[in-house]
Amino acid sequence: MKNRFIKKPNKQKKKRQVIPLRLNILFFVIFILFSALILRLGVVQIVQGETYKRQLEETDDVSVTKNVPRGVIYDRNYNLLVGNSAVKSITYARSEKTPPSEMISVAKKLDKLITVTPDTKLTERDLQDYWILTHEKDSLARLTKAEQNLDGAKAYKKQVENVTKADLDSLSDEDKRIATIYKKMTAGYALSQVAIKSKGVTDEEIAKVSENLESLPGVDTTTDWNRFYTYDETLRSILGSVSTEKQGIPSDKVDYYLAQGYSRNDRVGRSYLEAQYESVLAGQKSKSNSVLDSNGNIVETVEKYEGSKGKDLVLSIDVELQKRIEEIIKKNMQINKSNAGTDLFDRAFVVAMDPYSGQVLSLAGQKINDKGEYEDYSLGNFTTAYNMGSAVKGATVLSGIMDGAISEHQTFFDQPIKFKGTKAKSSWFNRAGEGGRTLDPVGALEISSNSYMYQVSMKMAGAKYVYDGPFRASAETFDKMRYYYNQFGLGVKTGIDLPGEQIGYKGDDKTVGKILDFAIGQYDSYTPLQLAQYGSAIANGGYRVEPTMLKEIRDPSTNGDNVGKVATEIEPKVLNRIGASSSAIKEVQDGFYAVTHGSSGTGASYFKDLGVEVAGKTGTAEAFYDGPKKDSAMTEVWNTTFVGYAPADKPEIAIAVVVPWEYRKYGGSDSKINLKISEQVFKAYYDLKEERAKAGKDNSKVEQPINNKAAAAAAQAKLND
């Protein structure tokens, strides 16, 4: 009997589901990954959030620097010598990622907005590059399969080779304008601004470009500046020059300037004062943030720091005196050129300085070029050297006294000096040995006795003179004499704040008889500036003062009508005290006074009636021509010189006048151009001083208005022309 109580299974009830082990493992792995991701996001956001934020800003918000106007340059009386003329400018800055095709597109748009003249200096390669960029498919199609597989540079070289003359001839004037703009765009470095147009930019062009900046990535409108020179060619060789954006920083100073934070296409001082005081004149660059799009194009520039204009230089130069001296030099050169034997004569120099402070009042030089035109050669005062002749005899006397070879009042009988096997050497006035006289240092300087100086040098050499006997002396005497001469600044750098200073030529003929030539300034050569430093040392009582072109440095003007406040005042720098007693120096000073006032003074006829007490020493040197006319090299010529100061009792100006190769030794005659120039320079200085006194001008009060704006306007007119 079947058990009817047995419960039958419920077919409707579902079986219990079991999750496979592999699926559990998968869920666990996913859980771990999500946990790691959440943890990483927390670290990124909380721990490293600021770091990544900065990196993002560096990528999308790039800092760009721009040059600011350079400091201006004044003369000692605050007359503007070098200034800045503001000009409207349209610029472009590219990023490292900006493709050439994008730049070409911008160039095409700019060509519709501004007037650009095709660059006459577009090279064939410039045009080839442009053609390839604007005919990309055609250019690539000309490559063989093998050429297409070459690396980028080699393949592009083949593209260039495939551009034909017909391709270039097909380029229109519009194409050449666009190529010109593109060339300027590529001239600068990434993220540095280059000028697309900075001359003759009109207000209309500025407006058009400004309205379309959104479609011109990298383009901006700004104000640029150009350097102008108020006094044209006056001091141009000394003031120096500033590089263009295309020239950038000098190749020989790239590492130095880059270390100072400069960009390769920055404008910097290239020569002389502009280069010497680059760090002062350059100022602090402005800084802007340039926003880049996803392709690296600059779409917006926001100024963060406007920068600061460079500080201003106030030179020690008196530009009005400088101009007058330049005219004096040119006038006398013109007169002298009409004399016989002056075909090699082509230059003359004048240095004027304050003998106590070392401030250079005038650094004038003129040279006649191949076209017969006069040109500024001021830099020749410290970059060229000549035999100075008798002008250095004051140094010879004091050298003998410092050496102990002669006493302060040593006397010698003026007579021809004759050594065995040589011609007699004598003073210019006593060739035959008749009428000789006993001279002390004052008398020897007054009449410019060569014989006295010969005998001083022989004493220094330890030689005992016997007429027509041998001259036995050590070649070390040259070094001894140079040691004493160096104390005056002769044969060593003066220390002037200008690059390129030369020390002159040291005679290399060790024949002991040349010691006598050394003593009268006809052996070693010196620069006109060295001669002026030597004269200043005699004038001020024995102190060799470093010459300086700078009087002070001032902060930029705040309104353009007045000079700024003094930032640095240049103090006198004494390099050394000459190792001679005050009484010995006084004896040489008396000798210099006798030259210009004594009854037999070699310069008395030019200075004794000048109206101011001048003291100085004339010089004439037998020399050999070593100028630009190579076919006349080693021709015997005469150099004429003068060194002096005024007033004699309390000097305020010292001058050196050097006229190289004034006339041929044979076939010419001395016109005394050195003395004429010297007389006229002193007169110009005191005339100018008197004129200013009558006009009531007090240049120590610098609150007086300066004519910057008028000078800038005049310069702008010249630039526009």
DSSP of 195-262 = EEE-SS--HHHHHHHHHTGGGSTTEEEEEEEEEEETTTTTTHHHH--B--TTT-S-GGGHHHHHHTT-
Contact 114, 205 (CB under 8 A): yes
**Helix, strand or coil, per DSSP, at residue 133:** helix
The catalytic residue positions are 390
pLDDT at 708: 54
Contact present, 217 and 70 (Cβ < 8 Å): no
pLDDT at residue 226 in the model: 85
Distance between CA 176 and CA 161 in Å, rounded?
20
Write the pLDDT tens digit of every residue in 20-50. 777 778 777 888 888 888 877 776 677 666 6
* pLDDT tens track for 249-298: 888 888 888 888 777 778 899 999 999 999 999 988 766 666 665 555 65
Please check whether residue 684 is in contact with residue 324, taking contact to mean a CB–CB distance below 8 angstroms: yes
71-112 residue pLDDT tens:
999 999 999 999 998 888 898 888 777 888 899 999 999 999
Q: Summarize pLDDT for 158-191 with one digit per residue, the tens.
A: 999 999 999 999 999 999 999 999 998 887 667 6
**Number of Cβ within a 10 Å radius of residue 569:** 11
**What domains can be seen in the chain, in order of their start residue?**
58-91+191-199+222-314 (3.90.1310.10), 99-189 (1.10.10.1230), 319-695 (3.40.710.10)
Q: Where are the beta strands (DSSP E) in 310-449?
A: 312-315, 347-353, 360-368, 374-376, 412-413, 438-439
Can you say how many angstroms the Cα of residue 362 is from the centroid of all Cα atoms in its chain?
17
Question: Residue 721 above 70 pLDDT?
Answer: no
Mean pLDDT of the chain: 87
Omega before 647 within 30 of 0, i.e. cis: yes
pLDDT value for 59: 47
Q: Identify the residue with better confidence: 643 or 37.
A: 643
Q: Are 366 and 333 in contact (CB under 8 A)?
A: yes
Give, as one character, the DSSP assignment of residue 109: H
pLDDT band at residue 707 under the 50/70/90 scheme? very low
Q: What is the pLDDT of residue 703?
A: 41
pTM score, two decimals? 0.80
State the pLDDT at residue 306.
Answer: 63
Q: What is the pLDDT of residue 291?
A: 64
Determine the residue type at 84. N
